[in-house]
Amino acid sequence: MRQKDKVLNWIDENEDKVITLLQDMLQIASVNPWFEDDTYPTKEKNIQAYLKNYLENMGFETQLWEPDAAKLAKYEGRAGYYAGRDFTDRPNLLGTIKGNGTGNSVLLTGHVDVVKAGEGWTKAPFGGEVEDGKIYGRGAADMKGGIAAMIMAVQAIQAADVKLDGDVFIGTVADEEAGGMGTLALADFLKENDLLADACILTEATSLNIAPISRGILWGRLIIEGRSGHIEMPQGDWRTGGAVDAIDKMHLYLDQFKRLNADWAVKKVHSLLPIPCQINIAQVNAGEYPTSFANHGEIIFNAQYLPHERDELRMGGKVKQEISDFVSQVAKLDPWLAEHPPVIEWLVDADCAETNKNHPFVRNMAASLREINEYPMLEGICAHTDMGWFVNVGMPTINFGPGEPRIAHQVDEYIPIDELIRATKALAMAILNWCGYERA
């Protein structure tokens, strides 16, 4: 039998092992402490201890460490850096299996933290229940399914007694769901210790699409000043002391953002992304009580950006400037706003990255999918993923994993078992093809 067929057969015959590994991981409630979930205050250390043990039993050399924010201060102002972030009981884990040194190396990576379960589940959020071909639990799609698939892909190669030429690294990080500093810490660790791989797969849920790009995300708060005054009484001109309705001024911005979006819908497109970059309004807050014009209004928006729009820090500075300029231009249309220009507070800048779709590693993934009779779909992720730091330190990176991205963060989060198995097979083939192996 072909060595690759042995690997694939092992996966088919050991579906239960893949399922059990994922269930074990789902039953460890690794809620990111940013969510202050009192029911599950476990942080990330228990799942990392579980994975360390699992990888060591497979023959991986492991390193487990709590990142130190102070040592990462050189990244001040860069994506994913948060001064003073506390990593107590929140370790990163790196497992290494050496090949014979003649092949390409690969890093398989993902985050072990999850968002809080929230209300409304019909399944146990940390139960790992199986029903109708699906495994349920917080993190099933985002992204413990992807981590189970990467580990089982390596286990299948070992079980089929295939020796890899290149090194395989498995890196699992804390703290993705609240900023991405765990990934920054892993990328820094790899760089400082000369452990950079020739390529990297971040197994975030992509429905088995190959996603060589993710978008940058800006959150901003546009603050619009008005002047309160009795809403039932005549007010007269604001220049003579009359009230100014902040809500009325917000209308202007809501309309103008639509115009900007129409412009962006033509300009800010990418051939691998299904939708253009937009400024989406996420929250509108204004007004104090029913008898007064609003003294103050806030529009909280989410704007996306593309890798070619990044500034010298590989972040969204240029797009922030573009939005600020637009806000200033709009203010000139209105005498009150011209004299009381709105202010933008920037809340989040989550970076983006791209690996050329013709890079050999992207082609390697596509060829590996074809080998298991899957049609390789190339489609970027419209949201942010942590691929940026892996690319920044020099590793071509793709996102590829099981599960539907939109299921992430929902109640009754699940992963179809069939997709988990297909991902395991695809990853096993990708590792074999990329790293090379000794022919029997």
C-beta closer to Zn ion: residue 226 or 403:
403
Beta bridge partners of 31: 114
Q: Coil, strand, or helix at residue 134?
A: strand
Closest contact distance (angstroms) between CB of 85 and Zn ion is 18
Please choose, out of 138-146, 216-224, 232-240, 390-398, the segment that lies near Zn ion by the rule CB under 5 A: 138-146
Binding to Zn ion, residues 194-213 (CB under 5 A)? 204
Closest contact distance (angstroms) between CB of 206 and Zn ion is 11
Which residue number has the CB closest to Zn ion?
Answer: 142
| 61: Cβ contacts below 8 Å, ≥ 6 apart | 95, 96, 97
C-beta closer to Zn ion: residue 309 or 379:
379
- 143 lines the binding site for Zn ion (CB under 5 A): yes
Q: How many residues touch Zn ion (CB under 5 A)?
A: 3
- 419 lines the binding site for Zn ion (CB under 5 A): no
Binding to Zn ion, residues 241-300 (CB under 5 A)? none
Residue in 113, 142, 245, 419 binding Zn ion, rule: CB under 5 A: 142
CB-CB contact of 211 with 409 (8 Å): no
Q: Would you give the distance in Å from CA 46 to the centre of its chain? A: 22
C-beta closer to Zn ion: residue 204 or 245:
204
C-beta closer to Zn ion: residue 320 or 384:
384
Q: Would you give the distance in Å from CA 194 to the centre of its chain? A: 25
Please choose, out of 73-81, 91-99, 142-150, 270-278, the segment that lies near Zn ion by the rule CB under 5 A: 142-150
Neighbours of 236 (CB within 10 A): 11
C-beta closer to Zn ion: residue 212 or 220:
212
Site string for Zn ion, 71-100 (x = CB under 5 A): ------------------------------
- 113 lines the binding site for Zn ion (CB under 5 A): no
Closest contact distance (angstroms) between CB of 404 and Zn ion is 12
Nearest to 92 by CA among 106, 107, 78: 107
CA distance 399 to 381: 8
Instruction: Provide the binding-site residues for Zn ion, judged by CB under 5 A.
Output: 142-143, 204
